[in-house]
Chain A
Amino acid sequence: MSTTVSQIDEVKTTPWAGGRSPFAVEYGKMMMWFFLLSDAFTFSSLLIAYGALRFSAVSWPAADHVFQSVPLTSVEHGAPLVFVGIMTFILIMSSVTMVLAVEAGHRNSRKEVIGWMVATVIGGFMFLGCQALEWSHLHHEGFWWGSIPEHLNEYFTKDATISASYTQQFANLFFTITGFHGFHVFSGVIINIVILINTIAGTYQKRGSYLMVEKVGLYWHFVDLVWVFVFTFFYLV
């Protein structure tokens, strides 16, 4: 009898041969990625709808003219992008503290994870606070879902056609999209607090892995990623 193993009986060891995860990530982490992909679709459809309406518009309120005040200071006019710049900085910064928490988790350093998670939660609250100020400022000027200020001259560039209906579209889209993003930030902060409490309680120390920090980290970075796009399409372009 032949001693050579027939080809069909050979044990396969390729990643897709079964018996192990071909992506080499834990189930929950993989599902977080796929959830984020679906969330990317949702945000994209909102932003693309915004783009399509704006492309079809004859004129559009100029971002430099709409967003030019810094709440909590005496600056009411002539400081375009300053406040949103601060917000962007806060969110990128809290993304950095999140990676630092993940990095500390890899070294199983509970204390450092706690420190960086606290910083991340504070960053999240600061961003939400800024968002609330920005919303209430615009609301005081008369912008809301379904309502716009009476006089629109100051929101358009000099020679642009002033259009009430496009300003209304702008207001609706602004509150819907930044609201949806802000809701994501809010739920992110809640999740971060839960993870922080678990870390303080030593749950992950006992488990021997800080993988949960990594998973919520993915969500938190995604929120930052969406903001990068919202910032570009609402404030810059």
Chain B
Amino acid sequence: MSLEHTENHEHGEAHEGMTRKKIWVVFAILLAVTVVEFIIALYLVPKGHMKIETANPVYILLTLFKAYYIVAFFMHLKFEKAGLIYSLVVPILFIIGLILVLTNESHHWVALFAR
């Protein structure tokens, strides 16, 4: 199944990709997301419209959103073969694993340091 998928990609590749217009659209998206982050950090949180506990996950989601646009469009990964995409994205699971392990572990350090 994945073989067919990669084959289909082959023909479109030359036409797809980044035109100058698309580049500026992606730039506008990245800038807009950063501006939103600033509004949250400088206005919404200090004025009490948003709790910091809500703001932090929002920051992380917006960061992942920006990361997607940089990798997919600026680094052109969206237009590569599915096999290459998977070979790069699947190992990121190890990083997620380390995040889960260490955030869990760090809660135990609190008690350890307190002693």
Where the two chains meet, the residues of A that have a C-beta atom closer than 8 Å to any C-beta of B are: 14-16, 22-25, 30, 33-34, 37, 40-41, 44-45, 48-49, 51-53, 55-56, 58, 64, 80-81, 85, 88-89, 92-93, 95-96, 98-100, 102-103, 106, 214, 217-218, 221-222, 224-225, 228-229, 232, 235-237
B3/A14 in contact, CB under 8 A: yes
A23/B81 in contact, CB under 8 A: yes
Chain B: CB-nearest residue to A13:
B7
- Write 10 A-B pairs (CB below 8 A) sorted by A numbering: A23-B87, A30-B84, A52-B109, A56-B109, A81-B41, A93-B27, A96-B74, A103-B20, A221-B75, A228-B70
Give CA–CA (A48, B110) in the complex, Å: 16
Query: Which residues of the partner chain A approach B71 to less than 8 Å between Cβ atoms?
Result: 221, 225
Known: A14-B7, A98-B74, A218-B75. 9 other contacts (CB 8 A): A15-B81, A22-B6, A44-B95, A45-B98, A51-B102, A221-B74, A221-B75, A228-B70, A232-B60
Q: Does B106 interact with chain A (Cβ within 8 Å)?
A: yes
Interface of A is mostly: helix
A95/B70 in contact, CB under 8 A: yes
A41/B83 in contact, CB under 8 A: no
On whether A237 and B106 interact (CB within 8 A), knowing A81-B38, A222-B75, the answer reads: no
B41/A92 in contact, CB under 8 A: no
Query: Which residues of the partner chain B approach A237 to less than 8 Å between Cβ atoms?
Result: 56, 59-60
B34/A92 in contact, CB under 8 A: yes
Q: How far is the CB of B34 from chain A (nearest CB, A)?
A: 6
B42/A81 in contact, CB under 8 A: yes
Give CA–CA (A222, B67) in the complex, Å: 10
Give CA–CA (A44, B91) in the complex, Å: 12
Contact with A along B1-32 (1 / 0, CB 8 A): 00100110010010001111001100100110
- Which of A23, A56, A102 contacts B83 (CB under 8 A)? A23
